[in-house]
Amino acid sequence: MQAVHPFSRKQRFGIGFLAGLIAGVIASIVMLILSVTFNGVSLPEAAGATFTALIPLPVFAYLHQVIGGDAKHYLFYGILVGQFLVFALSGGLCNLVTASPRFVKDSASQEQLHWLVGIALAFILWLLTGLLFLPFAGAGIFGSGLVIGVGNTMISLAIVGLVFALLFVYIQNWLVQYSLEKQEAAQEAGREGALENGLSRRTLIGSSLALIGLGALGVAAWRFITGEGPSTALPGAVQGYKSKIVPPPQPNYGTIQPVANLSAEITPNDQYYIVSKNLVSDPVVNGATWNLTVEGEVAHPFTLTYNELMALPRKQQYESMMCISNDVGGEYMSSALWEGIPLANLLQRAGGTTAGATKVVLYAVDDYSDSIHLSKALESTTLVAVKMNGATLPTGHGFPARLLVPGIYGMKHVKWINRIRVVHEDYQGYWQVRGWSDPAPIRMTARIDTPLTGSLLPANKPAYVAGVAFSGNKGISEVDVSFDGGHSWQKATLKQPLSNLTWVLWEVPWQPAVGKYTVVARAIDMEGNVQDPQIAPPLPDGSTGYHAIDIIVQ
């Protein structure tokens, strides 16, 4: 028996294409969300690196000059749109295949897809992606070459496939229903041959373009809000990775040649990074009326004026700070010579803490607060700072007083403090109740300051790769630089740091031949801990992964 179709082949393809596209855009967004939240695979990201490598150098250099440093972003969106189209095409093809007489049993329900058909389609796509696309993109069978591993790749692709399958079938059946109703209406109106009314080619092309644009825009907005967006760790850097070197390396101290863009060892106050929760304006405190109270689980609470605080013995300390929301390679890192009163001295002045005290809470005039453990509060390097690089603490950095607590992230360095309270309970601060780490130890990082990523360098001319490395309070014993994406490493020269609480300047001479290079840096601390190559976003514990830059040498 030959089934009669109310739709032409073209129309069937069109309906499937549109349903596949809508479902594909949503499934792609789910894929990207999974990749940042649960280490799922991001196909545009996994394929991007390989496609850049496949482009011949002259073409790459040309594109780079025309598009600028943003070439990678365009590639990402190019692959993403390609992914939308693959979903759409598979939907269209699926509809053609299922329309063949073999699949059609009775003509009443023939146009409605069973959800099992969607699952079968998703399964085919899942296999093709894992067995063909990923290996071709250099990521190995089912992502075996990716840091996230085969398990995460298989599962995240399966979830994305499932989302696609169910949405595709649902939307497809809805579109069919909609088109049939439109056809009937047209026929009743006496317009025979008005079959095209269901879903005209113009509507199809128009809505497809709008959908693709909307999908890409949505992803762009989302990546803008969440920062750089998902990325995959360098496979080369992960192979043979050892988390600890015993005994720790001997630092290779030497002279650092001055080069453009390398960070100054001490950041001038007006260039020191500024972060605060206050969107509109930071508090401007009047030192003449300001007080600092020490209270809670202490023997003798007391309050000091600014002059009384300034009369107490002070200590100088070189310390670098980093914001927990800093991306690897990011700008929210600076270094200064601070001067302040050890917090332990203030607690001692209060007659010491009572039994059972566990934490110290710092309250600020902008309704910000955070806490540190009592043991951290008593460390000799934990200061109530009143000076920065020899100057009175600037307003933006917390005048009249801020906390300095080396080894943990900037968020714990509470600015504009006016109350220090010792408590029994496990107090959670402003950012902790919003999901950020409470202990918040700094995660070691190395940043390449120069050359800038995407630079064109002349071939066979001496140059330097240089930057900073920071571990919080564990010092830096070694910085390694790779010119081949993390497969082989070379030791950098370190500038002996001003203290073991600061970042360390490092440098490597480089005279490259013509080619494309992925330059990577990693650090090792004084205990022999090696920087973590696994990529983590800043939330909740601070970012990890290696800073990598792309350089073209001509």
Q: Which residues pair with 335 in a beta bridge?
A: 320
Residue with smaller CB distance to Mo ion, 411 or 524 = 411
Pairing of strands 456-457, 547-553: parallel
Binders of ligand MTE in range 389-408 (CB under 6 A): 397
CB 420 within 8 A of CB 292: yes
As a whole number of angstroms, the distance between CA 46 and CA 65 comes to: 24
428 binds ligand MTE (CB under 6 A): no
411 binds Mo ion (CB under 5 A): yes
Residue with smaller CB distance to ligand MTE, 333 or 463 = 333
CB of 391 to ligand MTE, least distance (A): 13
CB of 322 to ligand MTE, least distance (A): 7
385 binds ligand MTE (CB under 6 A): no
314 binds ligand MTE (CB under 6 A): no
- Pick the stretch among 174-182, 207-215, 257-265, 410-418 that binds ligand MTE (CB under 6 A): 410-418
CB of 415 to Mo ion, least distance (A): 11
Residue with smaller CB distance to Mo ion, 323 or 535 = 323
395-400 own/partner pairs: CB under 8 Å, 24+ apart: 395/282, 395/284, 395/285, 396/274, 396/282, 397/269, 397/272, 397/274, 398/364, 399/285, 399/287, 400/285, 400/287, 400/290, 400/292, 400/306, 400/309
Token pair in block for residue 425: 């309970």
CB of 329 to Mo ion, least distance (A): 16
To which residue do tokens 């050890």 refer?
Answer: 342
As a whole number of angstroms, the distance between CA 343 and CA 353 comes to: 12
Q: Which of 54, 124, 132, 274 binds ligand MTE (CB under 6 A)?
A: 274
323 binds ligand MTE (CB under 6 A): yes
275 binds Mo ion (CB under 5 A): yes
- Give which of Mo ion, ligand MTE, none residue 366 binds (C-beta under 5 to 8 Å, depending on kind): ligand MTE
For helices 9-37 and 71-98, what crossing angle results, to 10°? 140
Q: Which runs of consecutive H residues, i.e. helices, occur in 189-287?
A: 201-226, 235-238
CB 267 within 8 A of CB 335: yes
Using alpha carbons, list the distances in angstroms from residue 394 to 304, 367, 397, 436, 442. 20, 19, 5, 27, 24
Residue with smaller CB distance to Mo ion, 46 or 442 = 442
- Pick the stretch among 232-240, 292-300, 379-387, 414-422 that binds ligand MTE (CB under 6 A): 414-422
Residue with smaller CB distance to Mo ion, 84 or 431 = 431
Q: Classify the C-alpha dihedral 136-140-142-143 as positive or negative.
A: negative
- Give which of Mo ion, ligand MTE, none residue 415 binds (C-beta under 5 to 8 Å, depending on kind): ligand MTE
Collapsing DSSP to helix, strand or coil, 89 comes out as helix
Residue with smaller CB distance to ligand MTE, 331 or 426 = 331
In the complex, the residues that contact ligand MTE under the rule CB under 6 A are 272-278, 321, 323, 364, 366, 368, 397, 410-411, 413-416
